[in-house]
A and B are shown apart, each in its own frame.
Chain A
C-alpha cells in the first residue's frame, strides 16, 4: 500500500532483480501447485467428470424432479431474502460501528464475527432452540401466529445469521474510506442529511454493499449445518439443496447427488465471477475517484 514501490519503473527494476536474488521460487511454487492439485483441483474435477460421463437423461430427470425443483426454489428464495435482510441491517450495524463511539463498541465489533467462529452445528441447534414454538423468541412469535422454526421462515433466519458478517465486514472499510470533506462540501452547498446520504454516501458504498450482498447470498446457498436443524426437512416444503445431495448419497444415488451438486457448483462459480467483477468495479471506481 505504500506509494514508492508502485511506480512502474521501480517495479520493473525490482522484478528483474527479484528473480535472481531470492531463492526458493521453484520449490514453493512447485509445492503450491502440487498441494493445490491434490487437495482441490483433482477432487473437484472428479465431480465434473462424473457429471460429464453420467447419462444425460438421468441427470435431467433428477434435476427437473418436483422435489429437487422445490428445494432449489426454497434455497434460492430464502438465501435471497436473508441476504436482503443482511444488506439492510448490516448497513445499520456497519454504520453504527464506523461512525459512532459508544461503550462496548469493540465488543460489539468482535461479536459480529460470531457466525464465522461458531461451528454451524452449534448455531443450528441454538437457533432451533430459540426459535422453536417453546423457545425464548419462538414462543413470543407463536402468540402472534408466526411459526418460525420448521418452516421456510426458520430457514431464512438461519441463513440471515450465517450471512451477517459478510455484509458488515465488506461495508466497514468502504465506510471508513469515505472522505468526510465530500460530505461537508455537500452539506455546505445546502444538502440535507438525507440528501447527503442518498446522493453522496450511497453511490460511494454501493459496490461494497452489492459485494457484501453477493457474498452473503453465495454463502447461504451452500450452507448446511445451521439450517438442517431449524428447517424440519419436510420434502417439498423445507428441504434445502445441500440436504437433498446428502439424501441422494444415503440412497446410493451417486449420479443424482452429483447432478444436483454440479448445478449448485455452477451457481456458486457464477456468483464468484460476479463478486470478482464487482470488486474490480469498486477498485476501479476508487482509483478514478
Chain B
C-alpha cells in the first residue's frame, strides 16, 4: 500500500542542498525536539522494550528459550515458508516488470493496479479468502478432503497466504526502474546477436540488480514477519503449523514473557538487518545515479 508513483529508490534527495532555509533557530529546535520525541515514544522505546524484556532474566534464560523444540520448529517453518514464497515472487516480479516495462499494450495501468491489490487488503481478509477457497466449507474443500489433501490449517495454506501478502513487493520496485531504463540497451544487445536469455541475464538483470535486491529484502521481511494472514490459515498446532510470529503470540498469551520476547527479539533483529540493508542499497543506487548519467549505455562493451 506504500503506493507512491515513483519508486522510492529513484526519488531525488536534496536535503543537504537546502539546509540553509530561513527557519529561525527556535522553530528549528522545536520541530526537531517534538519530532524526535514523537519518534522516540512510538519507535525507539518499543524497540528497546523488546530486547530489555527478552534479557530480563539474564542471558542464560534468553538462550534457553531457543533450546525449546517448538521454538526451533517455528524458526524452521518460517525459513521454509519464506524460502518458497520469496523465490516465487521474484520470478513473478521479473516476468511482470519485463512485460510491463518493455512492451506497450492495452490495460497496462489496470494490470499495475491489480498487482498492487494485495497491499489494499487487510491481512485477515488475505487469510480468509484462502479459507473460503480451500476450507472444508469452501469451493474446493470437499474435493480436497476426498483426496486427503490438506491446505488450510496446514503448511500449504501458510505458504499461499504468505505469497499473497508479499505478492507486490518485487514487482513494484522493478516496474518503475525498468520503465526508466527503456529498451535501447536490450535492443542494441539483440542487434549485436545476443539471444533473448543472454540479453536478460547480461543486460537487464545487472541494470536492475539493486532494485531487485531492495524488493527482495522488503519481500523477505514481510514473508518472515506476517502474522494476521497466517494466523487465519494456520491451525496453531505447536511444532507443526506455528511460524515465529504465531509462536510469539502463543508464548505471550501464556504469560511466558521472556520466551515470547526472546523469539520476538530474533524477528526484531531481522527487522534491523532489513533496515540496514535497505539503507545500504538506497545509498548505493543514489551514488551510482549521481556518478553515471542514466542515459549512457555503459554495459554495452560487456556484451560485445
Residues in A lying within 8 Å of B, measured CB to CB: 1-2, 4-5, 14-15, 17-19, 21-25, 27-29, 31-32, 35-36, 39-44, 46-47, 50, 89, 92-93, 95-102, 105-106, 108-127, 129-130, 135-137, 157, 160-161, 164-166, 169-170, 172-173, 176-177, 180, 183, 187, 193, 211, 215, 218-219, 221-225, 229, 242-243, 245-246, 249, 252, 254, 257-258, 261, 264-265, 268-269, 271-272, 275-276, 279, 283
Q: Residues 178-209 of chain B: 1 if any A CB is under 8 Å from the residue's CB, otherwise 0?
A: 00101100110011000010011000000000
Q: Are A222 and B295 in contact (CB under 8 A)?
A: no
Within 8 Å by CB of B130, from A43, A110, A177, lies A43
**Alpha-carbon distance A40/B270, docked complex (angstroms):** 27
Q: Residues 128-150 of chain B: 1 if any A CB is under 8 Å from the residue's CB, otherwise 0?
A: 11111101011100000000000
With both beta carbons as reference points, the residue of chain A lying nearest to B92 in the complex is identified as: A35
With both beta carbons as reference points, the residue of chain A lying nearest to B295 in the complex is identified as: A2
- Which B residues between 253 and 268 are near A, CB-CB below 8 angstroms? 257, 260-261, 264, 267-268
Residues of chain A within 8 A (CB-CB) of B6 are 173
Q: Are A119 and B105 in contact (CB under 8 A)?
A: no
For B18, B27, B39, B125, the residue with the greatest tally of chain A CB atoms inside 10 Å of its CB is B125
Can you list 22 A-B contacts (CB < 8 A)? A1-B294, A19-B103, A22-B183, A24-B99, A32-B100, A92-B38, A93-B35, A98-B14, A100-B32, A117-B225, A121-B249, A126-B46, A126-B53, A215-B3, A225-B228, A246-B124, A254-B131, A254-B132, A261-B125, A268-B121, A272-B3, A279-B5
Q: Are B19 and A36 in contact (CB under 8 A)?
A: no
Residues of chain B within 8 A (CB-CB) of A44 are 117, 121, 129
With both beta carbons as reference points, the residue of chain A lying nearest to B8 in the complex is identified as: A169
Is B65 close to A, CB under 8 A?
no
| A-B CB contacts (within 8 Å), total count | 331
Query: Contacts A25-B99, A92-B34: A113 and B275 contacting too (C-beta < 8 A)?
Result: yes
Q: Are A39 and B35 in contact (CB under 8 A)?
A: no
Residues of chain A within 8 A (CB-CB) of B122 are 221-224, 242, 261, 264-265, 268
Q: Are A242 and B228 in contact (CB under 8 A)?
A: yes
Further pairs besides A5-B182, A218-B1: 12, Cβ < 8 Å:
A1-B294, A24-B98, A35-B95, A40-B114, A96-B32, A99-B15, A122-B50, A122-B225, A170-B4, A193-B24, A264-B125, A271-B120
Residues of chain A within 8 A (CB-CB) of B13 are 176
Residues of chain A within 8 A (CB-CB) of B59 are none
Residues of chain A within 8 A (CB-CB) of B199 are 22
Q: Are B50 and A98 in contact (CB under 8 A)?
A: no
Residues of chain A within 8 A (CB-CB) of B16 are 101
